[in-house]
Structure 1
């Protein structure tokens, strides 16, 4: 009925409709939005009409509402509202909710698996993970270890696969970490692995490691030689694979692989793992048709194996070098290759001093224990590549037990009873070893090298001497290594192209810290002066200027100059240059007056006796001439005065006449009686030796009196007067013996 009225009202004209009042706030809130004021169909209006009001209101609420309505002013009667339609779902596509069904019953518990079933599941899961890992899928290590721990049956392929992976990883790790220092400790660990089962892995790992690092080839060859003494099949397999590798690389013209293969074969020949005939075959193949690459490979191969061939097979060595000589003179090869051959001949001339057969630290195998394999270059070779991959072994446990017995025999491991008997004896030995271990010193000087590197980098990375001194003082130097810091400061100064004052200020800073550093710098001065002849001119100059800086600023005592003895016997050309640069720099830093005053100090005179000697005229003249030559003659005034006041040396007294001219005793005649010796002795015969030299005097006097000829004269002209004077004295004084010491003219005397 209400809907019909509403429809009739909507169809009536606008002027017939009753005027509507403005809605109250309550009605405005209850009214629909403006969009709902549009005209809709009946169904739409029914759907969008508000729900019916709740009639179950409390009486008190109705009373309050009536009271408010009575108190409010008169209003127009409310507009009639249509009853709200029944509420329906807006989303028509959403199905109506159904009643909840009771929860389903839990499934029955699966039956407990047996141990065999669990093991089978673990195997299947492990195989699945291995397949995924082979496809490049990452596997969490924890999950993989858990599955491996679940597999305990040694007869299954899965367990053997896990053991194979562990063996491969262990062999690769041991081969990669071996070096000269730890090879004695790596070998027992290597024999602890099953090398018979993993010999393919061992050879493969050795070849890869040697090709990657050629300088370690002697170490890998030594490791192979040690394994060859106990397990010859391992050494034989390695030689076969090396030969096959060289043959393939030679056919492919792979120079890098040929170089690495020949170097490994050379060191195996040196260790007598393979016979030297293989080396001769390889050299013949390389030099048969010489090219630049083949000659280069042959030269490198001969440098490594040449000394061994010279000692063991000289005929092979002579033939190889004859072939090199022919190639050098006749073959058309590059200039670089010719130079390599010439260097090889020089190496042979020097007796291979840089390429010994076996280094001393790697000579670990006795010659009688080594097993030499005779395998030719052209033999049929089976490299057994199947040993590189995993294969299931039904007798795995038996083979492992057999290798354990072999390992005990190789490593010298005894039974448990023997071990218990030896425990008591080893306890005392362990105590001695512990005492010896406390005395072990680092003979490789690795710590010292690291310390010197740290000091050098600290100095080079500092901006000023104060910063460098601060950083170096923060270094924790080991006890007794303080001289290394002083030595590194001086060496850093010496290696510069020119003298850098930075180093002098740094040394001055340290020398003024305490007495210890001053004493160390004074000791370094004495050490470097005694070994100054080992340094080249530039380093010598820098060292001299460094110590001159310390002396001029009194950072070290001047008594260090006592080590210098300035004479001809105790100085060398290098030490004289050092002294020259030292004093010239002292003069530049201090000035002439201050330097002379310092050297004239009475307290320093005992320390300066070597530089300014007062012992012999020869040494005094040498020192005077030296300082005069370096334009510092003002320092020699005192020495010149001392030399002038020295007493002149007296001539030695002439020998006595009775001693010089005593007549020889006459021998008695065999049949004559000896004459009696009574009576005075007869008068001596007159001395005619002065008259005998008269012709000689005339001969010397004639060229002196006559004008000097154009050609060279036998006697210089100024010598005429002294000669005539001496001859006249000898002629009128026969008692004076001849020859006389003839005085020389002044211009012929030695400069004093």
Structure 2
């Protein structure tokens, strides 16, 4: 009877609770379905008959109901394992378990709880894995996903990279570069670029040029540390591939390095250091790498640092002589003689300023203009050495400081070089004093001109002198004086003067005034100096650095001014002009045909040539006819 009464009362309570829940719009679990009005607070801690209804359990009384609920929680927390009831003080629960009905209810409750919430055993920790606290696991997983997505975006952009979309891809890449940390972004992009360039089929110059221009553009956008880290990764990868003997990968990486130098990412001193390292080993792979560099950027290296090219050539020649002396190892030659000969021929062509047709194609012109707009000269990496790139202990902004040699041998070598340069400088200073170079500026200019390897070297060193005020006018005066001092005319001075005139118009005006001063001193000049001056002016006219208008201060038709020395000088001048081709003669005289103010000069030139050249030498009559037609060439048509 007691059990039946308990069941009946429980059903009534259940029905009452349902009606109350429906009226109050309470969800299952105790939450209101409407706007929270605070009533749920009243039901906190009060058990509901709805919970027991789901399990088809109706407990006898309130104490038994609480015991069953606690048994549920214990069963779930221990993953389905039943615990023995050892608490003898809980009399209410013992009374429930004494009857078979209550035991069956508890067993069914435990079984259903176990079935509803199955336990999942945590996998055993791998001893090799690092333990990550639970609160940091989601963070690590999100960072990995982020970097994976970043790498995927980088690969997608590099797959589409070409010469036509180079500018847009660079802008887009510089935008996503800032979405990750700077070090991680640089590492990922560098790895993908080197992977694209080193792996796969044989790369060509165009492919390497596009990727090198991309690196230069990225360095201009995000900073020169990006290109420095990429160069360090490139050097490490090159050495790894060198150990593996992967010639294809080595060639592709060498092309990328060469075009990084061409587009102004790294200076030529890094390439020279790399070439000298290869020249010391000079195995077959080294010869192939040297050939690739020289064919790609050999002329640029020569123009940037002729002295460095000279040192490299000497080191290669010494190494070749050593190999020839011990050319056989175990009956086999150390290196392919044909490839070695081809390398030496290439070096000889570069030394003699014979430009290769493969170098500097016209398709790269717009890339260089684009990089100039980005101010690529500001991100040029100077003073780097190949050993510095491979140094694993690089610290701080190592790409800014460069590297001064630290080993004993290198220090001694640098000291010897400095000593030789000091001795040479002293010799040139003595020569400058002997040539009446009486100012510091003139002595410095004289030393540069006379010690340069070629006109390119002299031109760059003269620009680096950075003479204050108007002292740069002394350059042309020293050039003319050096030319006139030569016992045999040297065309080197005219080429250097033409280069300076094309660089800055002020040098052209200075040259004109210097020549006018020289024309005033013709009466007192020695014959050799007058002849050199005539040849110098003729060369400047043929290069179109000057025009015949430079002679407007000379009255070629005035017999009072035409002394024997002056007549002889201008005869040598026009005779040197007539030694050129007919087209060159036509163009030289046509340049003054269109200016009305130079009509008197044209008449004076025609009179002088006819009177003092053609009348004494009939072989010049043909050239004179061409010159006379050119002076009357009002249309200004050039040949």
State the structure with more CA Rg.
Answer: 1
Shorter-normalised TM range: 0.3 to 0.5
Which has the larger helix fraction? 2
Q: TM-score, normalised by structure 1?
A: 0.29
